[in-house]
Chain A
Amino acid sequence: MLSRKSFMTLPPCAWLAFVMLCLNGSVWSAPPTIRVGSKAFTESVVLGEVIAHLVRDAGFGVQHRAELGGTQIVWQALTSGEIDVYVDYTGTIREEILADAIRNGVKINSEQDMRSELAKQNILMSKPLGFNNTYALGMRRPVADALGITTVSDLKQHPKLALAISDEFVARKDGWYQLVARYALPQTDIRVMEHNLAYRGLAEDAVQLTDLYTTDPEIPFYNLIALEDDLGFFPAYEAVLLMRDDLAQRAPEAAQAILRLQGLISSDAMASMSAEVRLNRRTETVVAGEFLNRELNLGVELPQTTAAAVALRVAARIGRSTVEHLFLVTISLGLAIAVAVPLGILASRREAFAQTVLGIVGVIQTLPSMALLVFMMPIFALVNLGIGPAPAICALFLYSLLPIVRGTYLGIRQIPVAMRESAEVLGLDARAQLRLVELPLALPSILSGIKTAAVINVGTATIGALIGAGGYGAPILTGIRLSDTGLLLQGAVPAALMAIAVQFGFSCLEHRIVSPGLRGQS
C-alpha cells in the first residue's frame, strides 16, 4: 500500500519540475533580449516583423512569438512579462483591455486617459503609428449593387442574407451583437467562421456578408465594398505600440528604436504590405524589411529567394516543427503514463474510486481543446509560462489520461479470478502479484491505451501553435491565414506521418515486450 502511494505522488511532481526546468532553459531557444508578440492575423505578424527588424538593427537579440491567437492571449503574455512589446489598436484597448476599468467607473475620453490607465499596469502606449484599421461589414460589390446596399442600415431590408462573422468579432464587446442591437438588424442566423475562411466563402458566393478590417488587402482584390457605418457604431482603431515600461530601463536603445514606428505607417503602406504577403505570397520578414529599408534607410539584409535557399528554409522549418512537436507529445505522454497507470491500478482495486476517476478523466476528455488551452494560460502565467509549450503540454497530458487509465483499469479487471488466486496462493505478496502477474497480463491493454493517447496527442498538439507552442500547428495556422495550401501541408502531412509512425512504433514495441503467450488475445 505504502509503496503504491509514493509511486502515485512522487514521480509526477518530479517530472513536472523537470519539465519546468526544460522549458525555462535551453530547449526552446537561447534567451532572447527582446521578445516581440503578434496576433494571429497578417497585419499583426507583419508589424511584429517590422519591430523585430528595428530591434535587431539597434544591436539586440530578438525573438518574435508570432500568431499568438487573439487579444486576451497576447495581452496576458505582455502583462506577465513573456513578451515585451506588440501592436494593438485603440478600439481594442478601450473595448477589450480596459473594459473592466471602464465598467468600474474609469472615464476614458482621450488617448491620454487610455495611456495613463495602461501606465497603472506598467504598460506604455505609444503615439499612433499612422493608420486606422477599424472594423466594417463588407460584401462583394456586384452583390451589394444588385441589392442596392451601401450602408449598414440598408441591411434591414435584406434579412435573408448569408452572413459569416469571425469568431473574434462575435466575441468582442463592440462586436456583432452590439452592432445588431444598435442598428436593429433582423439577421439572427449567422455562421461563425475564421476570418480568412470567411473571405474564401465570400469569393465563392457561399457567403454574402462578413466583417472585415478596413486595411485588409482582400477588399480591392475580391472587389469588395465596405458598407458605410451610417450610425457611427465602430470606434477608431488607431494602431499603437504596447510596451512593458521596464523595457525602457532594461534596453533604452531598443525601446527608442521601436518608437521610431510612431507616425511612420500610413493606411496605404499597411494595406500594401499586407497585400504583398497575402496576395503575392511573400514572407512577412521580407516585406517588413523592404518597408524599413525604404522608409528609414535601415539596410536590413533580406533572405535569399533562390529555389535552393527557399527549399533549405522549408526543410529547416519542417525539422524545427518536428522537434517541437515531438517535444510536446513525448513530454505530455510521459507525464500521462506516470500518472495514469498508477491511477488505473488503484481504480482496479476499488470500484468506487474507479467510477470517480473514470468519470473525471472522461469529462476532461470532452472539453474542447481550445477552451482547455485558454483555461490553462492564466494558471501557467503565474510562473511566466503562459504562452509557449507548457500550457499545451498540460492540456495534452490531461487528454492522454482517459485512454491510459481505462486501458490499465480494464486490463487488470479482465484478468480471470483463477489467475489472480493462483498468484495469491503461490505466496506472492501484493506487490509481486502486481509486478509479476497482473501488469504483464494487462500489458496489451495498457499499451493499446497508451497508443491511443499518443495518436490523439500527435493530432491535438497542432492546436498548441495558437499559444506559441510551435510544432506542426504553426505552418498549419499560417497556411490557413495566408490561404497557402503548400504551407498548410508542411504541417499536415508530417503530422499524419508522425501519427502513422507512432502506430507502427507501438506495434513493434508490443511485439517486443508483450509475452508471446498473450499474442492474439487482445
Chain B
Amino acid sequence: MFTLENVSKSFGSLQVLEPTNIRFEPGKSTVLIGPSGCGKSTLLRMMVGLIPPDAGLILFEGSELGPSNLHQMRQRMGYVIQDGGLFPHLTAFENVSLMAKHLGWVSERIQGRVIELAELTRLPSQSLTRYPTQMSGGQRQRVGIMRALMLDPPVLLLDEPMGSLDPLVRYDLQEDLLKIIRTLNKTAITVTHDMGEAGFLGDHVILLGDGRIVQQGKLDDMVQHPANAYVTRFVNAQRIQGLGGNSPC
C-alpha cells in the first residue's frame, strides 16, 4: 500500500528522520510509536504530502507521490488528526460531505453515505446539524473519522487521534475505531505515544527513537524481548500492567 525507501528528513541542522525503509501491507493496522520528537508525526505528514522528504522515495499504490498526482492520491487516503481538525464554519454534515460535494456527488448519494457513516461511527444523527463548537470532543473525533472515510479510501492515516480525549471517551472510541478498521478492511497507520493504544490497535508496532526505527513487531515481543535499553525504558515509562492492556483505568 505504502512503501518508504530510504526516506529522510531534517529541519535545519536537526535530523528528525534518518534514511528509513518501511512497507505498509494492505489491510494491516500499523502503529508508529515513540516519544515526542522521535519523527513519527513527520513520517506520517510526509506520507500525506504535507512536507516533502529530503531524500528517498514514497510510493503509494505503486506510484511516487508528487505535485502532479497529490490531489488524486489524497482522495484515496483518509487523514485524521487530534480533535478531528473540523472546519468550524461548517456543520458536522457539511464537514463530512465537503469533498464529495466538491467532486459533484448528487445529494441523495451524499445523504445516504453520511447516514451510513454516522451509524458506523455511532454518531447520534441529531449531531449532524451541529457545528464543531456545539459538540463534545469525542463527537468531533467521530465526525473527523467520518470525514476521512467519506470517499471510502483504502487507507486511513491517524495522527494522535485520541490525543485530546479523556480516558473513558478514548476507551469507547478505540473500540469503535478498531471495529471500523476491521469491518471495512482498511489499511490503517496510526501515530501515538500510548503503548496501550498501540497494542490494542496495531497488528504491527514500530517503535521510533531519535529519528530511526529502534524495534518493530508485535507489542508482546517488544515488552518481553526489548532490543536495547531504550526500549526497556520506553516500555517501563508507560507503566503497563499487563500485555495488550487496553484498560484505561
Interface residues of A (CB under 8 A from B): 418-419, 421-429, 432, 436-437, 440-441, 443, 514-518, 521
Contact = CB atoms under 8 A, between A and B. Distances in A.
28 contacts: A418-B82, A419-B87, A419-B88, A421-B50, A422-B79, A423-B87, A424-B74, A425-B49, A425-B50, A425-B74, A425-B77, A425-B79, A426-B79, A427-B72, A427-B74, A428-B71, A429-B71, A436-B98, A440-B87, A514-B89, A515-B88, A515-B90, A515-B131, A517-B131, A517-B132, A517-B133, A518-B88, A518-B89
Contact of B85 (A421, A427, A432, A441): A421
B20 to A, nearest CB: 21
Contacts of A421: 50, 81, 85
A474 to B, nearest CB: 44
B156 to A, nearest CB: 12
B99 interface: yes
Nearest to A430: B71
Given A428-B99, A517-B89, A418 B71 contact: no
A440 B95 CA distance: 13
B74 A422 contact: no
Contacts of B147: 426
B152 to A, nearest CB: 13
A428 B75 CA distance: 9
Contacts of A516: 131
Given A424-B50, A425-B74, A418 B99 contact: no
A233 B247 CA distance: 103
Interface string B10-33: 000000000000000000000000
Contact of A419 (B79, B85, B98): B85
Contacts of A428: 71, 98-99, 102
A434 to B, nearest CB: 13
B87 A441 contact: yes
B98 A441 contact: no
B89 A427 contact: no
Contacts of A443: 89
Contacts, number: 65
Contacts of B181: none
Interface string B162-190: 00000000000000000000000000000
A440 B99 contact: no
B163 to A, nearest CB: 12
A418 to B, nearest CB: 5
Contact of A517 (B71, B79, B91): B91
Contacts of B132: 517
Contacts of A432: 102
The bracket for how many chain B residues form the interface is 20 to 34
B171 to A, nearest CB: 25
B59 interface: no
Contacts of A423: 87
Interface string B71-110: 1101101010110011111110000001100100000000
B48 interface: yes
Nearest to B84: A422
- Max chain A Cβ within 10 angstroms of own Cβ: one of B49, B72, B74: B74
B85 A422 contact: yes
Contacts of B72: 427
Contacts of B88: 419, 441, 515, 517-518, 521
Given A441-B87, A517-B132, 17 more contacts: A418-B82, A418-B85, A421-B50, A422-B81, A422-B87, A425-B77, A426-B79, A426-B98, A426-B99, A428-B71, A428-B98, A428-B102, A441-B88, A515-B88, A515-B131, A518-B88, A518-B89
A443 to B, nearest CB: 8
B63 to A, nearest CB: 15
A427 B87 contact: no
B71 A427 contact: yes
Nearest to A516: B131
A441 B74 CA distance: 23
Nearest to B83: A418
B89 A440 contact: yes
A415 to B, nearest CB: 10
- Max chain A Cβ within 10 angstroms of own Cβ: one of B72, B75, B88: B88
A427 B75 contact: yes
Nearest to A418: B85
Interface in B36-57: 48-50
Contacts of A426: 74, 79, 98-99, 147
A427 B101 CA distance: 12
A345 to B, nearest CB: 17
B128 to A, nearest CB: 13
Contacts of A514: 89
Contacts of B75: 427
Q: Which 6 A-B pairs have the closest CB atoms?
A: A517-B131, A515-B89, A427-B74, A422-B85, A427-B75, A425-B79
